[in-house]
Each structure stands twice: as structure tokens, then as C-alpha cells.
A and B are shown apart, each in its own frame.
Chain A
């Protein structure tokens, strides 16, 4: 089993199962998704291998009775909402995570371990249960409504559930541990002497934060932004349970096309758009972190 230099076949043998599984269950099927996105919709769901660009046209246009194309922004709105909500989620997670990660990093070792354990714990608790908990809190007769009514602050109120705000709350809640951990790791690596040096040079706390701490913990923030932004883009549970049927994100729109709507080619086309968005973001962040690594080496 052990890879050895005398017998280089071990390298191949050890990697073969993992690569074969990824090739057969992901890489080739993603190729098929691309093919399906250019295929004709089957009469009872599924698809037929007849080339068409209709699924992509359908993303932007409605086909009228006489075949004329009429601009319809319904899917474009879903794409825009997905990008916007994911960006806002990532920003909120960044703002909330930094002080918490910084605070944890300064604690005594035992307390530090305990707090990191508390940050990771929700990640282990069932995602669906965590999203569900927000239904009890935000829903009709939910915890928030009851509390406000109990305090006599409101009499009647609209349900807080179903909409962009509820989805945003759910997304931040779901993914924030993934932001705290990498930021914490990069703060831990920070040399305290640099902060002291900044103060010795008459930099106050704010200047030190802005000029020393934040730039040096950027790799952690970039890593955290990737870990939060990518799953937010593909979120399914949060929009389905907290967004209601009308305010959709790409994740549950894709699921709908492969489920109830039975329009596989359209679903495949949206999946391709989603994948493209993720790839553009990853390449962009990759370039940025390469640049900041370069700066670090130069410094």
C-alpha cells in the first residue's frame, strides 16, 4: 500500500480510485450537463439529443404565439438576486466574523479551544434543522412576533418569513462559521511584534488595525469569502424554506426544473450559468490572493 520510489506504480494505484470516481460521477456528467443544456426538452421530462439553443434563449425571452421573442426578465431577476444575496451574505459574514475571530485569537489556549469548538459545533448540527429553527422564529405567531406583541410594541404584523430578508438571515446564519475559521487561523499566525512595532511608531489602535492587522489577515478573509460565497450561490434550503415559492435563487430554480417543472434543458442551462459564476469568482479571488502573496513576499 505504501507509495515507494522503487515502485512508482503505487502512485498511480493510490490515486486511481479517487480520480476514477470523480471522472465518472462528476467530470463526465458535467460534460453531459453542457450537452443537455443544448438539447430539446423531452415530452415527459428528461431530454432528447436534438441540438437547440432554446434553453439559453428561454433564460431571457418568452416565446410568443407566432414564435416572436419577447424579453422576459424573470430568470434574470433570479440570477441577479442570487448574486446580490450571496455578495451581501459574504459581506455581512466578513464584518461580523473579524471581531469575533480576533477576540477568540487573543484568549488563553483552553478558552480559545473551547470557543473554536463552539464556532464549529453548529456546522455539525443538521443544516435543515438550523434553517427550520428560523421558521419558528420568523414565522406567523413565531418567537419574534410573540415577543413584540407581548411587549405591546405591535398589534398586527406581516410575517417576517418568505422574502429576501429571511433568506439573508438564513444564509448568514448557515455559513458564518466557514468565515470565522480561516480568519481566526490567519490572525493566529500574525506576529504580535508587528502590532507592537506599529504602536511604538505612534500608530494608534485604528491605524494599526487598518494598516497592519487587516492587510496581514487578508488571505484568511479571501479564503473565508470563497467558503461563504460559493455555497451561498448554490443555496437550496434557505430559499426554499425561508424565501417561499416566489422569491427564488438559482439553487432552487434548478431543483424545480429537474423536479416539478420537468424542464431538464432549462435546468441544465441555469446550472451552467451558476457554474460559470462560481468559476469567474474563484479565478478572480485566485488572482487576488496571488497578488497579495506577492506583496507579502516583497514586504
Chain B
């Protein structure tokens, strides 16, 4: 299969891919590199320093934004994963489900719309309802657009599941609930975890909606970073970005390993 005259191989694709991966990772590497720059001016190298990490970690506004983001993401993750799990169980396993395709499209609706439209929709909704609490607004909006991201991995896991196991449990006189809790749930748990993690990252990363709703004293991490970028490139910004990337990479790796373990 991997002989040199394999008709499936095309010359140059390997080199092209190598250049592509460099393109994908160089910008990230630049940010990480300059975060260790002692010099206040980003692009003038002034020696290695961890100074900007200390500055970042003692930045009270940053910590407040991190707390806001974590709280919103935690609520949105739990809510959207539960809702998505219920919907996925019905849409994949339920019998005689009417309007299955339309129903699935509705659950995935936030994916079919540009996010700015979703943001405008919730902004107008909250202004009409008269909801003023910034945190509650963010939690509701984030739950909405996280649902499809939690839904898709759970659905994939359910579709790949062997129905025989659950039927065997039922043959052994397990009630519906016991069969679900002891057989179905453990089997789909990796999918549920992957879905929850994706929802968490999507919520933590959201800028468009959080920025448009930004009022009532609830500034999330990306919105805070945006305000820093508006003030100009700075080494502290690079340090903050690097810290965020480290956390993202750890989360992504865990989620990836969870999904591989099948």
C-alpha cells in the first residue's frame, strides 16, 4: 500500500501538507514566542522573561472576566448537554418520532444561522422582555448556541451503539430506566463528555454574542481580550493568549482521546 509506485499517491502533496501545517501553527508560535519577551515593545526582542505572565495573573480585570466566562460556560454546558442528550435519545432511538428531520434541523438551528444573527435575535428578545441581568442574558444565549455542539457528538455515539446490549438488559427484566442507567448511559458517556467539552469550549470562546450583549457588568474573557487588542498589541496580551491556548490544548486533547477510545 505504501510502495513508491502506489497509483494512489500524488507527488508534491506531502510537501504541500508540510507547508500547510507550518502555516497553521506559525501564527500561534509567534504569539507564544513573544509572550516571553522582556521588552515592552512586542516585536523588539529584549531577552527571556516571565514578567508578563506575572502581570497577567495579577490583573484583577482579567481574573473577573475569567470568572464570568467560567460561570457562564459552566451553566451553559450543563444545561445544553442535558437538553441535547434528551433530544438525541429521542431523535436517534425513539420509535414513531414524527417530523424527525425537521425536529433535528430545529435542534441544530444555531449552526444554520450566522452567529451575528443569533446574537441580534437574543439581543432584541432580551430588550423586549426587559431582562437586564447581564449574567442571566449570557447564560441563556450561550445555552442556546451550545445545544447543537453538545448534540452532534452524543448523536454520533448513539448511532454507533449496539442495540443488542440494551435489548439483552431488557430480556433480563431490567426496567426501562435501569437499562438506560446501567447499560445505555455508560456506553454513550464518552459522547456525552465530548459534547459537554465542545459546548464548554464554544461558550468560553464566544465573542460575537457576548460582545453584543455586553452590558450589565458581565464582560467575558474574549470580550475583555478584544478591549485589550483595541488598545494595541502588548506583551501582556501575548502572555494571556498563551495561557488561554495552553488550557484549550489540554481540553482539546482530553476530548480527542475520549472520542478515540471506542
Contact = CB atoms under 8 A, between A and B. Distances in A.
Interface residues of B, number: 93
A254 interface: yes
A173 to B, nearest CB: 7
A255 B180 CA distance: 45
A134 interface: yes
Interface in B1-59: 2, 7-10, 12-14, 16-17, 20-21, 23-25, 27-28, 30-31, 34, 41-43
B90 A15 contact: yes
7 contacts: A1-B176, A99-B20, A134-B27, A234-B115, A234-B117, A254-B120, A271-B116
Interface in A100-119: 100, 102-104, 106, 108, 113, 115, 117-119
Nearest to A209: B10
A129 B41 CA distance: 19
Interface of B: 2, 7-10, 12-14, 16-17, 20-21, 23-25, 27-28, 30-31, 34, 41-43, 82-84, 86-87, 89-91, 93-97, 103, 106-107, 109-110, 112-125, 127-128, 140-141, 143-144, 147, 151, 176-177, 179-180, 184, 201, 204-205, 207-208, 211-212, 222, 225-226, 229, 233, 237-238, 241, 244-245, 248-249, 251-253, 255-256, 260
A154 interface: no
A234 B114 contact: yes
A25 interface: yes
B10 A99 contact: yes
Majority SS of interface residues in chain B?
helix
Interface stretch (A59-67, A69-77, A136-144, A214-222): A136-144
Interface string A267-290: 110010011001000100000000
A261 interface: no
A292 B203 CA distance: 36
A160 interface: no
Nearest to A3: B94
The range of chain A's interface size is 35 or more
Given A3-B93, A102-B13, A255-B211, A22 B106 contact: yes
B17 A99 contact: yes
Contacts of B204: 126
Nearest to B201: A124
A25 B144 contact: yes
A25 B8 contact: no
Contacts of A199: 7
Interface of A: 1-5, 8, 10-11, 13-15, 17-19, 21-22, 24-30, 32-33, 36, 46, 96, 99-100, 102-104, 106, 108, 113, 115, 117-122, 124-130, 132-137, 139, 141-143, 146, 173, 176, 192, 195-196, 199, 205, 208-209, 230-231, 233-234, 236-237, 241, 250-251, 254-255, 258-259, 264, 267-268, 271, 274-275, 278, 282
B245 A103 contact: no
A196 B201 contact: no
A18 B180 contact: no
B117 A10 contact: no
B222 to A, nearest CB: 5
B115 A29 contact: no
Given A30-B121, A124-B251, A255-B212, A100 B17 contact: yes
